[in-house]
Amino acid sequence: MKPDDFDYVSRLLKERSGLVLTRDKAYLLESRLMPLARKRGLKGLDDLLALVRKRDAAVEKLVVEAMTTNESFFFRDNKPFDQFRSIVLPNLLKARASRKSFRIWSAACSSGQEPYSLAMILKEEGAKLAGWRIEIVGTDLSSEILQKARNGAYSQFEVQRGMPMALLVKYFKKKEENWVIDPSIASMVTFKEWNLLGDLRALGQFDVVFCRNVLIYFDQPTKSKVLHSISQVMADDAVLYLGGAETVLGISDHFKPVPGQRGIYAATKGTGPSLGAPTT
Amino acid sequence: MKSCLIVDDSKVIRMVAKKILQELNFETEEAEDGQGALDLCRDRLPTAVLLDWNMPVMSGIEFLRELRALPGGDAPVVVFCTTENDIEHIQEAIEAGANEYIMKPFDSEILQAKFSQVGLIDD
């Protein structure tokens, strides 16, 4: 690959998705884009990059999607979901008791495992949520990955990473080699194609936002910008989930860590959620 | 130290599982069928059992039912690890008292994820 091509593509990725691709990650271009080149009947990476440089919009989009698609597991890391079940949700049920509705956003949801995990948790709560209107929105910039999310069909490998077997037998059906999520869970999630770098306000206001393992791919100014946009679509007492290796400290004034709850952040503009943590 | 009994009629699978489990700081024991596993359990109950389904002499599911009937036999955490990958088998395993279920082929990541789900290891 010509150094010039690398610079061009990394600039495109930064502009469109915020992804920062440094030279030491150049191999990623090869491994992610070769399948794409082949699919389009091209000889190799150089031919594909030539199309990108001709500003072929369709190819540009596919390149950005291929480079930004990341792995996703059901109940990734367990702990955040335990926290959601035992702390965030009960708190929400109290705080929204009069309205009986709340909205959850899974940002950069990839193939849908995170919003579906949340949907299963809510479903398991059963009667407690009778009469509540709950919306789960999953967004990603890749239309292709969202199609997979909507289909709700996962390989045996995918359903084994993190999914308890009790939930697997309850909410999935085996269809040939795949496991397909039950319509009762699928219908709880709405998927939308959305770029985190754009204006988020049309998504409406959320009470819980999951944006885990997304910021790690951005540079500092982009992190700040995205956190600012996210804060604009959060209720005053809403909470934000970040990934284990991510923080708001030194990046954004719009959020503060919730004491005692690793990975959860509250908006500084609001009073913050009580979450049963010390309120000093 | 936590112990895990690996029950599988394939020597290769036992070796692979043993390597992964030792990296997770488990002391391991092996049996090549349900009967052998049951004999070991009568002697001393392990913390966990990684259990194949189809084996000669005594199958995994038969072993599990016998194990759960032993005094203290409800304590070991039993994780099936089998090529049986339909809902019916998983359901039957749950009813017999299995704690988790791995569908082969498996790798260290899946085994770790399952073991952490049932609290055998920390995340």
CATH of the domain at B97: 3.40.50.2300
Q: Give residue A274's pLDDT band: very low, low, confident or very high (50, 70, 90).
A: low
A61 plus A149 within the same structural domain: no
For residue A271, the model assigns a pLDDT of 66
Q: Match 């409800």 to its residue by tokens.
A: B74
Average pLDDT over residues A28-52: 90
Q: What percent of chain B has pLDDT over 70?
A: 99
Phi, psi of A92 (to 5 degrees): -65, -40
Domain for residue B123, yes or no?
Answer: no
- A158-177 pLDDT, tens per residue? 999 889 999 999 999 999 99
Which of these three, A12, A41, A68, is where a domain ends? A68
Domain for residue A274, yes or no?
Answer: no
A137 plus A218 within the same structural domain: yes
* Strand arrangement of the beta sheet that strand B27-31 belongs to: B27-31, B3-7, B48-51, B77-82, B100-103
Whether B89 shows a pLDDT value over 50: the answer reads yes
Whether A225 shows a pLDDT value over 60: the answer reads yes
Q: Match 């260290």 to its residue by tokens.
A: B108
**What is the rounded distance in angstroms from the CA atom of residue B37 to the CA atom of residue A183?**
41
Q: Give residue A72's pLDDT band: very low, low, confident or very high (50, 70, 90).
A: confident
For residue A280, the model assigns a pLDDT of 40
Domain for residue A278, yes or no?
Answer: no
Which residues of chain B have a Cβ shorter than 8 Å from any chain A Cβ?
Answer: 85-87, 90-91, 93-94, 98, 100-103, 106, 109-110, 113-114, 116-117, 123
Domain for residue B122, yes or no?
Answer: no
State the average pLDDT for chain A: 92
A57 plus A153 within the same structural domain: no
A61 plus A85 within the same structural domain: no
For A:152-181, CB contacts with B below 8 A are 156-157, 160-162, 164-166, 168-169, 173-174
Which residues of chain A have a CB within 8 Å of the CB of B102?
Answer: 160
CA distance B91 to chain A (A): 7
A226 plus A92 within the same structural domain: yes
Q: How many domains does chain B have?
A: 1
For residue A276, the model assigns a pLDDT of 55
Residue A39 touches partner B, C-beta closer than 8 Å = no
Which of these three, A31, A47, A68, is where a domain ends? A68
Q: Give residue A27's pLDDT band: very low, low, confident or very high (50, 70, 90).
A: confident
Q: Give residue A253's pLDDT band: very low, low, confident or very high (50, 70, 90).
A: very high
Domain for residue A100, yes or no?
Answer: yes
> Whose CA is closest to B30, among B56, B46, B7, B49?
B7
What is the residue range of B10's domain? 3-117
A21 plus A86 within the same structural domain: no
Q: How many domains does chain A have?
A: 2
**What is the rounded distance in angstroms from the CA atom of residue A227 to the CA atom of residue B38?**
56
Amino acid at B47: T
Check which CATH number belongs to the domain holding A8 and give it.
1.10.155
A201 plus A165 within the same structural domain: yes
Average pLDDT over residues A126-135: 93
> Whose CA is closest to B60, among B27, B101, B28?
B101
Average pLDDT over residues B20-44: 96
- A173-212 pLDDT, tens per residue? 999 999 999 999 999 999 999 999 999 999 999 999 999 9
Q: Match 């309205």 to its residue by tokens.
A: A99
Which of these three, A16, A38, A68, is where a domain ends? A68
**What is the rounded distance in angstroms from the CA atom of residue B64 to the CA atom of residue B83?**
17
Check which CATH number belongs to the domain holding A241 and give it.
3.40.50.150
Closest residue, chain B, to A160 (C-alpha): B110
Q: Give residue A278's pLDDT band: very low, low, confident or very high (50, 70, 90).
A: very low
- A152-163 pLDDT, tens per residue? 999 999 999 889
CB contact under 8 A, A77 and B114: no
Closest residue, chain A, to B94 (C-alpha): A166
Domain for residue A73, yes or no?
Answer: no
What is the residue range of A57's domain? 3-68
Domain for residue A272, yes or no?
Answer: no
CA distance B35 to chain A (A): 26
Beta strands in B32-76 (DSSP E): 48-51
The burial class, CB within 10 Å (0-12 / 13-18 / 19+), for B96 is: middle
Q: Give residue A269's pLDDT band: very low, low, confident or very high (50, 70, 90).
A: confident
Domain for residue B33, yes or no?
Answer: yes
**What is the rounded distance in angstroms from the CA atom of residue B51 to the CA atom of residue B5?**
8
A15 plus A99 within the same structural domain: no
Domain for residue A249, yes or no?
Answer: yes
**What is the rounded distance in angstroms from the CA atom of residue A279 to the CA atom of residue A271?**
10
A127 plus A240 within the same structural domain: yes
